Structure 1
Amino acid sequence: MTLNPQAKNVLDSLIDPSKHEMKEALAKINMSLDELKPHLQSSSGKPYYRKLLYKSEDVELLVMNWSDLECAPHDHGDSHGWIQVLNGTSVNSVYEVKGSSLPKELFKEYHHQGKFFYAPQKGVHKMQADGAKGLVTLHLYSPPISGMRVYDLEKCAACVVSDDCGAWWPEEQRQRIKEIQLIKQEDGSHAS
C-alpha cells in the first residue's frame, strides 16, 4: 500500500517514539475506513485479517478487520503500541501473568468507534468484535512486533510465534519458535 504523503511523513519521523508520541502520530495520520477498505480481506477462519501498511526500524502500522472469533491471549513481545477502533466495537480483555502460570483475566473493556487504547510492553490481552458491525482496527507498534507470545489456556501452554503469525495458536510448525508449558494453579496461587 502507498500511504498518503502526510501519513508517511508522520511515520517516517518516529524514532524510538514514546507512548505519547505514538498516540499523537496515530491521531495525526487520520486514516479513514473508506481509505483502508480496499486493503481488507476475509479473515479465512481466523480471528482477523491483518495488512501491514508501513514498517521502519522503529514502528509498524497495521490494519485489521475482525471475524466473530476472539483472538488468543497474547503479548506484543518487546513492543508497545496504540490501537484505534475505526469501525464497530472492540471487547478487550486484559490479563495478569505471574511467572510460568496461566494468564488470569482481570477485566474487559469496550472500545467504540473512534477510541484509542494502549497496549503496554509485555501486557497480555485478547480482543474480539462485539456484535456484527464489522470491527476494523488500526495498530501502531514500536518497535515492530517480534517475539509475540500467544497463550492457549486449554492446553496450559504458551508459544513464541514467528513474525508472520497472528494472535492464535500456530497451525504451521515453522511458526512455533518456542513452546512453553505453563502451570495451572488450582488454589488460586501463582508459581514464581
Structure 2
Amino acid sequence: MEVKQRVREKFSDLESHQPEDLKKALLDLDVSLEELMEFLHDPEGKPYYRQLLYQDDHVEMIVMNWADIACAPHDHGHSSGWIRVMSGETKQTIYKAEGNELPKPLFTEIKEKGKLFFAPKKGIHKMGSQGDEPLVTLHLYSPPIRGMKVYDLETCAACVVSSDCGAWWPEEQRQRLEEIKLQRG
C-alpha cells in the first residue's frame, strides 16, 4: 500500500491527538526511508525541502530532506509534535525566550538515525544536518502548524510566517504575517 494512503488511513480515524497517542501512531506506521524517496527534492538554497504527506484539521505529516544549511531558530506556533530521523544525523539547538527577548541557546544535541524526539508547543529550536549521510526527517504535528515564529538572531527580530514558509526568514513579503523587534536580554 502506498505510504500516503497508509498515513491517511492511520490519521483520518485517529480519536486522540495527544502527544503520546501521536507518537504511538507514528511508530505503528513504521514508514521506511525507501517509501519517502519519491518525495525528496533539491532544497534549492533553503535549509530543507519539505513535502506534505497528509493534513487534516487535527494533524499534519511532513517529510524533509536537508541541505548543509541549518534552519533558523523557530517555534511551531500552537502546535506540538514528533520528529523522527529517517537518515543521517541532526544537530539540534534548544533555545529559551522570555517575553520579547532574543532567544538564548540552552543546549545542543545530536540525534541520529532512528531517533524520535518531541517538539513542544512554543518550544524554540533549530536543526541542521550533521555528518556525511544525507539528513531526512519525518515530522508529525498537531494541530497543523500555523503562526510559526522564525527568529533572526543577528538583526534581533522575529517573524510570524505563513504556513507555506519554512523555518527561515521569508523572502516574500506575503509570507511575513507579523514582524517583531526583539530586545537583547
Q: What corresponds to 1:123 in structure 2?
A: 123
Distance 1:91 1:68, change over 3 A: same
Number of residues of Structure 1 aligned to a counterpart in Structure 2? 184
Q: Is the 8 A contact 1:68 1:132 kept in 2?
A: no
Q: Distance in 2 between matches of 1:137 and 1:43?
A: 14
Distance 1:25 1:182, change over 3 A: same
Q: Any gaps of 5 or more consecutive residues in structure 2?
A: none
Q: What corresponds to 2:158 in structure 1?
A: 158
Task: Out of 14-23 and 152-161, give the one that drifted further.
Answer: 14-23
Q: What corresponds to 1:56 in structure 2?
A: 56
Q: Is the 8 A contact 2:89 2:110 kept in 1?
A: yes
1:92 aligns with 2:92: yes
Q: Distance in 1 between matches of 2:119 and 2:154?
A: 24
AA aligned to 2:165 is C
Q: Is the 8 A contact 1:81 1:141 kept in 2?
A: yes
AA aligned to 1:37 is M
Q: Distance in 2 between matches of 1:6 and 1:173?
A: 37
AA aligned to 1:98 is E
Q: What corresponds to 1:28 in structure 2?
A: 28
Q: What whole-Å deviation, never above 9, does each CA across 1:65-98 have from its counterpart, x for those lacking one?
A: 0000000000000000000000000111100010
AA aligned to 1:114 is G
Q: Distance in 2 between matches of 1:177 and 1:15?
A: 32
Flag as ranges the 4+ runs of structure 1 deviating above 6 A.
none
Partner SS, residue 61 of structure 1: strand
Q: What corresponds to 1:146 in structure 2?
A: 146
Q: What corresponds to 2:176 in structure 1?
A: 176
Q: What whole-Å deviation, never above 9, does each CA across 1:118-167 have from its counterpart, x for those lacking one?
A: 00000000000102210000000000000000000001000000000000
RMSD: 1.1
Task: Out of 126-135 and 15-24, give the one that drifted further.
Answer: 15-24
Q: TM-score normalised to the size of structure 1?
A: 0.93
Deviation at 1:14, TM superposition (A): 2.5
Q: Any gaps of 5 or more consecutive residues in structure 1?
A: 186-192
Q: TM-score normalised to the size of structure 2?
A: 0.96
Q: What corresponds to 1:189 in structure 2?
A: none
